[in-house]
Amino acid sequence: MRARAEVMPSGFARVGLEITVEVQGGWVERFEIAGLGQGAQLDALKPPTWIKTSAALDDTDATPGTKYLPQLKLNGDGTLTLDFGPRMTAPRRGTFVSRLVYETRLTSDGRGALVLSLPTWPSALENVELWIDAPRGSQLAQMESGEAQSTQAFERGALSAFRIEKAQLPRTHPLEAHLALPGVWIEQPIEAPAQGAATSEPGAGSAHAWLVAAALLALIALKRLIMAPAPAAPELAFTALKALVLVVPCAAFPFAQAWSTSAGVATLALAVGLGLALPLHLNDAPAPGRLRYRRAHAVDMQRVRRGRLAAWLGPRSWLDATTPSGLVLLALSGALAVLATQRSADAGDTLWLEAWALALPLFIAKTRFARAADAGDALLALAEARGSLAPLAEAHGARCLLEVAHSGPCGLAERARLRFAGAEREIALVLARDTHGRSDSLAWLLSEGGRSSLRKAHAPLLELPLLLSSGAAPSKRDDELARAA
């Protein structure tokens, strides 16, 4: 049997068991395990399982690797009954690995120490190994037992680790360990809390919980940097307030995790939700200065394409699952979370996998598809439209010019338009977003009497000759576009 227990300052312990069971004949219809402790609770994410590792020569009902999920009944006194059902679905002859994960409240031995007691087993056990992770400074009291055993103590960061080995453990005999936690003296035994009752004051959690909180905070900060445009003015006070709002739930996560798993999950979910929902800036992006249009050159298209490639593979794509680099990072982090969970599977520590699942919205929300169209998108769309509209404009005696505008002498384009200069009037084709902010589409930019308006381009090939020759005013019905890119 192998066991691992994480003892928390609040007096709770998370225990994981892995026991090799050999069924020598017949089948197992029902199995009972006693001694989980009063008020013990099973891990809902990792229910008890039996996995077949080897089969008898004459057993053809199940192959190695078959998993059995019994029906569970946990009594208030800490007795767990595993019901495997009828004979046809029950484990038969062979060797099985039984895994069990649960949380329990430790009792006091009346001398200022907590008693960690493993469940009793209906048969004798061999090669029993127990690992205990407790707050740093904890001490393991001498156990009153005549059985041969070995004990080792280690210091691992913020934890004190203990390893207890016994060559044999008689049937129905529990394996107990008395732990004296630093700064804790308990005179009376701790009564099991009522179902749903609040626990005592939580502790600071494990070093893994602090590492998860720091990693999640870094991911949230990186996601917000990727989404954030340039602010209109320095916003030091607003930035400090947002940082405080994001740091508080991440810093509270280890304490919430030590209190209960549900509280830890809720705290991480709150941090991720705030990271995606908080406004990026108090003020809008600064409006461009006076724009000066010039003819677009090949270098402008190259800059746009290089920018698209950087957004596809560069650092800004790392938290975007719709890009190759973001998808690779998502899969890699998931594999690492699964590996970390498997390495601590005997303790039932699903902290890494839960944190990875809660961080998924950072990869799949606010992706590149949610980004508003900019001058680069307009330049590419108008360059594609120029191929079909330029010959038509020349046939009607108008010039077709692809132009970009800058507020400064250099840098990326801030506006783009496809201008048609005819004998009677000039019009322009731009990329604009509708008033509802739902989609971007091509629109005609028309000027009448010193006023400019946008008209949605439903069929540019059919509308261009009419607009160049007739000078038709824009239709109010189609005037639904708010701004041009």
The answer to whether residues 83 and 30 belong to one domain is yes
The structural domain count of the chain equals: 3
Residue 123 predicted with pLDDT over 90: no
In a domain, residue 200? The reply is no
Taking residues 46-61, what's their average pLDDT? 73
Q: Where does 280-371 have alpha helices with state H?
A: 298-313, 324-343, 351-358, 361-364
> Of 180, 215, 241, which residue is a domain's last?
180
Residues 6+ apart with CB under 8 A from 175: 3, 117, 118, 128, 130, 164, 166, 169
In a domain, residue 290? The reply is no
Predicted model pTM = 0.42
In a domain, residue 419? The reply is yes
Residue 54 structural domain: 2-180
The answer to whether residues 334 and 218 belong to one domain is yes
> Of 367, 385, 402, which residue is a domain's last?
367
The answer to whether residues 155 and 248 belong to one domain is no
Give the E-state strand segments of 311-439 in sequence order.
Answer: 399-406, 415-421, 426-434
Q: What is the pLDDT of residues 197-255, one digit of tens each?
A: 333 333 344 667 777 878 777 877 777 777 665 554 556 676 777 778 778 888 887 77
In a domain, residue 415? The reply is yes
Taking residues 427-450, what's their average pLDDT? 71
The answer to whether residues 348 and 437 belong to one domain is no
The answer to whether residues 29 and 151 belong to one domain is yes
The answer to whether residues 84 and 215 belong to one domain is no
pLDDT for the residue numbered 235:
62
* Mean pLDDT lowest among 236-240, 394-398, 443-447: 236-240
The answer to whether residues 396 and 358 belong to one domain is no
In a domain, residue 249? The reply is yes
The answer to whether residues 168 and 226 belong to one domain is no
In a domain, residue 86? The reply is yes
Backbone Cα Rg of the chain: 34
Phi/psi class of residue 31: alpha, beta or left (left: φ > 0; alpha: ψ in -120 to 50)?
beta
* Mean pLDDT lowest among 261-270, 332-341, 354-363, 448-457: 448-457
Q: What is the pLDDT of residues 150-175, one digit of tens each?
A: 888 888 888 889 988 888 888 777 78
Taking residues 109-113, what's their average pLDDT? 77
Output the average pLDDT for the chain: 75
Phi/psi class of residue 55: alpha, beta or left (left: φ > 0; alpha: ψ in -120 to 50)?
beta
- For the stretch 253-257, contacts whose Cβ atoms lie closer than 8 Å and that sit 24 or more positions apart, written own/partner, are 253/205, 253/209, 253/212, 253/213, 253/216, 254/204, 254/205, 254/206, 254/209, 254/210, 254/213, 255/202, 255/203, 255/204, 255/205, 256/202, 257/205, 257/206, 257/209, 257/351
For 190-201, b/e burial (b = at least 16 CB within 10 A) is bebeeeeeeeee
Q: 387 vs 134, 167, 174, 379, 427, CA distance in Å?
A: 71, 82, 82, 13, 17
The answer to whether residues 220 and 353 belong to one domain is yes
The answer to whether residues 379 and 363 belong to one domain is no
CATH of the domain at 51: 2.60.40.1730
Distance in angstroms (rounded) separating the CA atoms of residues 48 and 17: 10
The answer to whether residues 222 and 336 belong to one domain is yes
pLDDT for the residue numbered 193:
41
In a domain, residue 345? The reply is yes
Neighbours of 250 (CB within 10 A): 24
pLDDT for the residue numbered 14:
92
The answer to whether residues 381 and 267 belong to one domain is no
- Give the model's confidence band at 262: pLDDT under 50 very low, under 70 low, under 90 confident, else very high: confident
Q: Are 350 and 43 in contact (CB under 8 A)?
A: yes
In a domain, residue 429? The reply is yes
